[in-house]
Amino acid sequence: MGEVLAHADYRGHFSHGLNRLEMYHNDMKVGVIKSSTGISPENAATAWVNGNGVLGTVTAEFSMKLAIKKAKESGIGMVVAKGANHYSIAGHWALMAEQEGLIGMSFTNTSPKTYPTRGSAPSLGTNPISFFAPAEKGDYFGLDMATTTVALGKIEVNQRRGVPIPDGWGTNKVGEVTNDAELCMKEGGLLPLGGTEETGGYKGFGLCMMVEVLCGILGDGKYGSNVRRWGFHGENDEEANLGQCFMAIDPTPSLPDSKVECLI
Q: Are strands 46-50 and 38-42 parallel, antiparallel or unpaired?
A: antiparallel
What's the pLDDT at 233? 42
More confident residue, 47 or 25: 47
What is the reported pLDDT for 14?
65
pLDDT digits (tens, 9 = 90+) for 203-234: 999 999 999 999 999 999 999 999 987 654 44
**DSSP string for residues in 15-67:** GGTGGGHHHHHHHHHHT---S--EEEEE-SSEEEEE-TT--HHHHHHHHHHHH
Looking at the predicted structure, is the pLDDT value of residue 121 above 50? yes
pLDDT tops 60 at residue 264: no
Q: Is 118 exposed, middle or buried (0-12, 13-18, 19+ CB in 10 A)?
A: exposed
CA distance 103 to 80: 17
> What domains can be seen in the chain, in order of their start residue?
1-112+125-147+221-249 (3.30.1370.60)
- What's the pLDDT band for 172 if we cut at 50, 70, 90? very high
Q: Within 10 A of 260 (CB to CB), how many other CB atoms are there? A: 17
Lowest average pLDDT, out of 95-104, 203-212, 249-258, goes to 249-258
Residue 261: what pLDDT? Answer: 57
Better-predicted residue by pLDDT, 138 or 64:
64
CA dist list (Å): 219 to 39, 63, 121, 177, 182: 12, 12, 25, 33, 33
What's the one-letter identity of residue 162? Answer: G
Query: pTM of the entire structure?
Result: 0.84
Please give the span between the terminal C-alpha atoms of the chain, in angstroms, as a whole number.
33
* Total Cβ atoms within 10 A of residue 251: 16
Does residue 70 carry a pLDDT above 80? yes
